[in-house]
Amino acid sequence: MSTMQSDIGLVGLAVMGQNLALNIADHGFRISVYNRTRETTEKFVAENPSTPGGIQGCASLEELVGSLKRPRKIILLVKAGAPTDSVINSLVPLLEPGDILIDGGNAHWMDTIRRERDLRAKGLRFIGSGVSGGEEGARWGPSLMPGGEYAAWKEIEPIWTAIAAKVDPATGKPLTGASPGKPIQGGVPCTTYIGPDGAGHYVKMVHNGIEYADMQMICEAYALMSGVLGMTPEECSEIFAEWNRGLLDSFLIEITADILRQKDPVTGKPFVEVVLDTAGQKGTGKWTSVNALDLGTPAPTIAEAVFARYLSAVKEERVEASKVLTGPSSSFAGDRKAFIQAIHDALYCSKICAYAQGFQLLQAAEKEYNWKLPLGEIAKIFRGGCIIRARFLQKITEAYERNPQLKNLLLDPYFKNALDSAQANWRMVVASAAQHGVPAPSFYSALAYYDGYRSERLPANLLQAQRDYFGAHTYERVDAPRGKFFHLDWPEPGRPQLEV
């Protein structure tokens, strides 16, 4: 057993854990690792004998804790929920006041608030850190969203800034080209202190909600290309590749182009055509939507993306329904190139709305949970490493630099102009989707959100009158101050109207 003390420890050597450990060791930090199955630890250490920082395998949690410099810092990368609590409970008796546990999983932020509070009562510190970027991100640079006590963050900051993805300070573009033992030098790290207790995991959850919307919107663009224009996956791939060189340049568009080009090794058919059309999920998009409902904040496009996954999941029912229910049988007779450009614009405008909703939700959460979320910094750390990384995030970063108090992204001059110039195409695509019977719920809902948000007057006046009619729920008047409520003594249904 080595007597050299490690800078940090890590529990949970699934792929994410292994990759994060390698990333940390590549940056010259010595890391101790522990996995429940001893063979996994031994194999991992044996396979990585010479990293710059060094990796020490530990056969028990006691050994792991004993191998760390004080205050001890231990990353947990185990399954969210009960497994996380169980590891925490096993570690607590081994720790000393001031030690820091860091949960890097996709934990529910309320669990993080609870864990932080419980551990604080024991003199321990708890950081809930969102980690985005999947396996590749963990290895070469994820986007990291830490929340918890500020002083605890300062303890882990050197490691977090070293291992995070880096972007070019001038363009906001992710820096690439890291290889084993040779991490990226320089650049702006994609991590920042998010806020107390559950703030980091909350922001990660909203990141995932936006990720759901982004993915669904791309799928709708693909559905329109194939459903309306009859394009093959390969043809769609070329369009996505082209879009990836413009405004829509992003990780998800890039991988979509790759996926649509891929052939199935078994049948030789386009790979997407052999994949069953039922989407899975682990719940973070649902949490985002439920929380938007709880906080009374409109996030319809994110919620539609979750519902679209649910609808996809009832495959057998849809197959039966497809034999019974009919739709339009229109064929496309317009300019194909122009329609593809219109889909591009619809995707771009809908994307702006989904991000506007996500950032609006962050603002609502600030009030609800007593946080001060650094919205501009959050946009910055989403520019690299994470799943939603995109050129677009540079524009959001600039929007918050222009106006840190920005109420809604739609109101930023850059996005306002983008919506002004692209919305005719967006409306045309939504209408065409309806006309051709191609479901495009996130495009529709984003447009309805846009039109709703920009409406000085909505039909909620009628709604309030209905509520007052059947339940005496009262209403406010246009000619009275806000907050003053009235009730009309309605006649019985069907009776003559009240005299004026």
Three-state SS string over 198-223 comes to CHHHHHHHHHHHHHHHHHHHHHHHHH
244 interacts with ligand 6PG by CB under 6 A = no
CB of 425 to ligand 6PG, least distance (A): 29
Cβ neighbours of 31 (radius 10 Å): 26
Binding part of the chain for ligand 6PG, among 53-61, 225-233, 276-284, 458-466 by CB under 6 A, reads 276-284
15 binds ligand 6PG (CB under 6 A): no
Of 280 and 459, which CB lies nearer to ligand 6PG in the complex structure?
Answer: 280
Is 290 a binding residue for ligand 6PG by CB under 6 A? The answer is no
Residue nearest to ligand 6PG (CB): 132
Active site residue 204: yes
Q: Does 312 bind ligand 6PG (CB under 6 A)?
A: no
Under the criterion CB under 6 A, does residue 284 sit at the interface with ligand 6PG? yes
CB neighbour list of residue 143: distance below 8 Å, 6 or more residues apart: 130, 131, 132, 133, 137, 164, 165, 190, 191, 207, 381, 382, 384, 385, 386, 389
Candidates 72-80, 132-140, 261-269, 412-420: pick the segment binding ligand 6PG (CB under 6 A): 132-140
Residue 63 among the catalytic residues: no
Q: Does 129 bind ligand 6PG (CB under 6 A)?
A: no
Which residue in 53, 128, 133, 183 binds ligand 6PG (CB under 6 A)?
133
Q: Could you say which of 73, 116, 155, 204 is catalytic?
A: 204
Where do the DSSP E strands lie in 234-306? none
- Mapped to the 3 state alphabet, what secondary structure does 349-377 carry? HHHHHHHHHHHHHHHHHHHHHCCCCCHHH
Q: Which of 41, 56, 208, 445 binds ligand 6PG (CB under 6 A)?
A: 208
278 part of the interface to ligand 6PG, by CB under 6 A? no
23, 48, 84, 132: which one contacts ligand 6PG (CB under 6 A)?
A: 132
- Residues with Cβ within 8 Å of 239's Cβ and at least 6 positions away in sequence, in order, are 225, 231, 340
- Nearest approach, Cβ of 327 to ligand 6PG (angstroms)? 28
Q: Interface with ligand 6PG by CB under 6 A: which range of 24-32, 86-94, 130-138, 248-256?
A: 130-138
Asked if 100 and 159 count as a contact pair (C-beta separation under 8 A), the reply is no
Q: Is 106 in the site for ligand 6PG (CB under 6 A)?
A: yes
Report whether 203 contacts 373 (CB < 8 A).
yes
Q: Are 227 and 217 in contact (CB under 8 A)?
A: no
Question: Measured from the CB of residue 210, what is the shortest distance to ligand 6PG in angstroms?
Answer: 10
Q: Which amino acid is at 178?
A: A
Task: List strands edge to edge, sheet with 100-103.
Answer: 55-58, 31-34, 8-11, 73-76, 100-103, 125-132, 143-148
| 419 strand-pairing partners | none
3-state DSSP percent of the chain in helix, strand and coil, to 5: 55, 10, 35
- Which of the residues 116, 155, 211, 220 is marked catalytic? 211
Rounded distance between C-alpha atoms, residue 418 and residue 396, angstroms: 13
- Determine if 216 is a binding residue for ligand 6PG (CB under 6 A): no
Cβ closer to ligand 6PG: 281 or 341?
A: 281
Positions touching ligand 6PG (CB under 6 A) are 106, 132-134, 208, 211, 280-282, 284-285, 386-387
> Which residues are marked as active site?
204, 211
